[in-house]
């Protein structure tokens, strides 16, 4: 299956700007479906970005992050062609991991 994670990591020399878009329902547990039954909560709790053996960014998310979440940040360093590892885990214990090349 194709990865749920889409990444764009672009190095400008001094810093690397990372944008990520993840396919995930991010159900809050407050919304009802067409039958009036509550859709149980299902959301990503932690998203980790790892570069050169260390975490450069850690996101802890609640159910209030939008469906198909997007996040953008930048870190110092990062060379073109290097690997950036991204992984998430949700409240049901599901996970996904991908590795992107810095451009």
CB of 73 to another protein, least distance (A): 5
Beta carbons within 10 angstroms of residue 99's beta carbon: 13
CB of 1 to another protein, least distance (A): 21
Interface with another protein in residues 11-40 (CB under 8 A): 15, 26, 28, 30-32
Q: Provide CB contacts within 8 A for 97, sequence distance 6+.
A: 5, 85, 86, 87
63 touches another protein by CB under 8 A: yes
Residue with tokens 């049901």, as numbered in its chain: 92
79 touches another protein by CB under 8 A: no
């Amino acid at each position: 299956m194709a990865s749920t994670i889409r990444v764009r990591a672009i190095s400008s020399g001094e810093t690397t700007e990372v944008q990520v878009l993840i396919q995930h329902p991010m159900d809050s547990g407050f919304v009802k479906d067409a039958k009036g039954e509550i859709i149980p909560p299902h959301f990503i709790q932690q998203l980790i970005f790892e570069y050169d053996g260390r975490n450069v960014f850690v996101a802890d998310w609640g159910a209030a992050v939008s469906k198909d979440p997007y996040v953008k940040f930048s870190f110092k360093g990062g060379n073109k062609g290097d690997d950036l590892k991204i992984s998430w885990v949700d409240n049901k214990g599901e996970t996904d991991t991908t590795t992107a090349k810095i451009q």
